[in-house]
Chain A
Amino acid sequence: MSNIINAIYNIRQFDELASRDSFIHRLHPLAKLLATLVYTVLLVSYDKHATIALLPLVFFPVFVAAAAKIPPGPLLKRLLYIEPMIVGIGLLNPLFDHSTVNILGYTMSSGWLIFLSIFLKGTLAVTSALLLIATTGMEGVALSLRKLKVPRIFVLQTILTYRYISVLLEEAARTVQAHALRAFSSQGLKREVWGPLLGQILIRTMDRAQRVYDAMCLRGFRGEYHTGKGPGTGWGDTMYVLTWGAFFILSRLINLPLWLGNVMTGVSR
Chain B
Amino acid sequence: MHMADALISPVVGGAMWAATAGAAAYSIKKVQDGLDQKKIPLMGVMGAFIFAAQMINFSIPGTGSSGHLGGGLLLAVLLGPYAGFLTMSSILIIQALFFADGGLLALGSNIFNMGFFTCFVAYPLIYKKMIGKDISPKRIMIASMAAAIIGLQLGAFAVVLETLFSGKTELPFSTFVLLMQPIHLAIGIVEGLVTAAVISFVWKARPEIMEKASLNQALGGGLSLKKVMTGLAAAAVLTGAVLSWFASSHPDGLEWAMFKASGQEELEAADPAYEKLAAVQDKTAFLPDYGFKVSGSERPAGEQNEKWPAVNGGTSLSGLVGGIMTLLLAAFMGFIINLSNKTRKKPA
Contacts and interface: CB of A to CB of B under 8 A. Distances in A.
Interface of A: 1, 3-4, 7, 10-11, 14, 36-37, 40-41, 43-53, 55-56, 58-59, 62-63, 65-67, 69, 78-79, 81-82, 85-86, 89-90, 92-93, 96-97, 99-105, 110-111, 113-114, 117-119, 121-122, 125-126, 129-130, 132-133, 138, 141, 151, 153-154, 156-165, 167-169, 171-172, 176, 185, 187-191, 194-203, 205-206, 208-209, 212-213, 216, 221-223, 253-262, 264-265
7 contacts: A10-B99, A47-B288, A96-B170, A114-B170, A122-B7, A153-B40, A264-B318
Contacts of B97: 129, 132-133, 138, 141
Given A157-B44, A165-B51, A189-B57, A47 B4 contact: no
Contacts of B61: 191
B317 interface: yes
Interface string B322-348: 110111011101110110010000000
Interface of B: 2, 4-10, 13-14, 24-25, 28, 31-32, 35, 37-38, 40-49, 51-53, 55-61, 64-67, 69, 78, 86-87, 89-91, 93-94, 96-101, 103-105, 163, 167-172, 175, 179, 193-194, 196-198, 200-202, 205-206, 209, 252, 278, 281-282, 285-290, 292, 294-296, 299, 302-303, 311, 313-323, 325-327, 329-331, 333-335, 337-338, 341
B292 A255 contact: yes
A50 B289 contact: yes
Given A59-B330, A153-B40, A188 B49 contact: no
Contact of B322 (A92, A189, A191, A256): A256
Contacts of A190: 59
A169 B52 CA distance: 5
Contacts of B55: 3-4, 7, 169, 172
A133 B98 contact: yes
B348 to A, nearest CB: 12
B285 A125 contact: no
Given A172-B52, A202-B198, A158 B90 contact: yes
A188 B57 contact: yes
Given A96-B170, A110-B281, A154-B24, A41 B105 contact: yes
B169 to A, nearest CB: 5
A183 to B, nearest CB: 11
Main secondary structure of the interface of A (DSSP, over half): helix
B333 A153 contact: no
B278 to A, nearest CB: 7
A196 B168 CA distance: 44
A46 B51 CA distance: 34
B94 A41 contact: no
Contact of A46 (B57, B289, B327): B289
A164 B319 CA distance: 50
Contacts, number: 392
Given A114-B170, A141-B97, A161-B94, A202 B6 contact: no
Nearest to B331: A62
Nearest to A151: B28
A48 B197 contact: no
B169 A89 contact: yes
Contact of B100 (A82, A119, A209, A262): A82
A266 to B, nearest CB: 8
A50 B299 CA distance: 12
A151 B26 CA distance: 11
Contacts of B5: 40, 43-44, 121-122, 125-126, 129
B289 A55 contact: no
A162 B75 CA distance: 16
B42 A213 contact: yes
Given A198-B197, A265-B318, A168 B45 contact: yes
A176 B56 contact: yes
Contacts of B100: 78-79, 81-82, 126, 129-130
Given A40-B104, A199-B205, A259 B322 contact: yes
Contacts of B175: 92, 96
B205 A203 contact: yes
A36 B289 contact: no
B48 to A, nearest CB: 4
Nearest to B57: A188
